[in-house]
Amino acid sequence: MPVSSFKRTILITGSTDGIGKQTATDLAAHPDNRVIIHGRSEEKCETTRDQIVKETGNPTNVDYIAADLSVMKEVAHFADKVKSRFPELNVLLCNAGVLNPRRAETVDGLEMTFQVNHLSHFVISRQLRPLLQQNSPSRIIFVSSICYDWYPLDFSDLQATNYGDAYLQYSRSKLMNHMTAFRLAREKSDGVTVNVLEPGVCETKLLKRGGYSGGPVKDGSVAPVHLVMSEEVKNITGGYFNNRGKRITSLSADSTDAKQQDRLWTMSEEICSKFGITF
């Protein structure tokens, strides 16, 4: 296991704005945390890093990695870049997400919300799990939403050709996050816990794109910070936590359905294989 002067090395996808950035800032305020921010461009990542360092006064514990999760070629190489640069990684916070008022496709021909919110994190969490296992005890945390149970999955239309309103596919992508997390948690015990949280309704750019308003972004980092740092949850896996970091015991039947989890898992692997991504 790599030797590190930090207690935690934490990668947060989608952390140049909104809840991800706030969470990165709050975690970087603790000098025993090494925080790796992620964004689509080097420039935005550098700017965010400088802002966080200025706010926390800790110049040595914030780094970054850039990758566009809407490009499968970049997703495919993301884990290798992380392994090379940050071999001490022991926390993965899957936070990046989009909410589009209208259907849009990526350069890969996949529906944008499906690819960024679900498929990219499916790949990243699968490919980084061996490293996390090596550095155990480790944690994988998915950021979901209170709307995750608004719509059931349509397995005949994961690409949302019938897009409907903006929240239909967004909600389904968050249900996919739940299913992926719980399916990962069903794997044999390997020193890696996998949990899901909902950060609350916060005034982010994403929320505004969906036509809603919410509370301060600062409130949205409470649950992520808790799930990353708290000793109370170190032995919990397959759990769902609310915006205050309290475990929710009432879960949607779809999210906990092992057959649906396995079906999504297999279909996601099949799509990944078309881009040369195997596990």
- Whole-angstrom Cα distance, residue 167 to residue 214? 16
Cβ atoms 77, 52 nearer than 8 A: no
Q: Tell me which of 64, 151, 167, 170 is the catalytic residue.
A: 170
170 is a catalytic site residue: yes
Neighbour count for residue 163 (Cβ, 10 Å): 17
- Dihedral of the CA atoms 65, 171, 268, 245 (nearest 10)? 60
- Whole-angstrom Cα distance, residue 109 to residue 115? 10
- 92 has which bridge partners? 11, 140
Query: Count of alpha carbons within 13 Å of 146, Cβ hemisphere only?
Result: 10
- Whole-angstrom Cα distance, residue 167 to residue 188? 34
Amino acid, res. 247: R
- Identify the residue whose tokens are 């935690």: 8
Torsion region of 64: left, alpha or beta (phi above 0 gives left; psi -120 to 50 gives alpha): beta
State the catalytic residues: 170
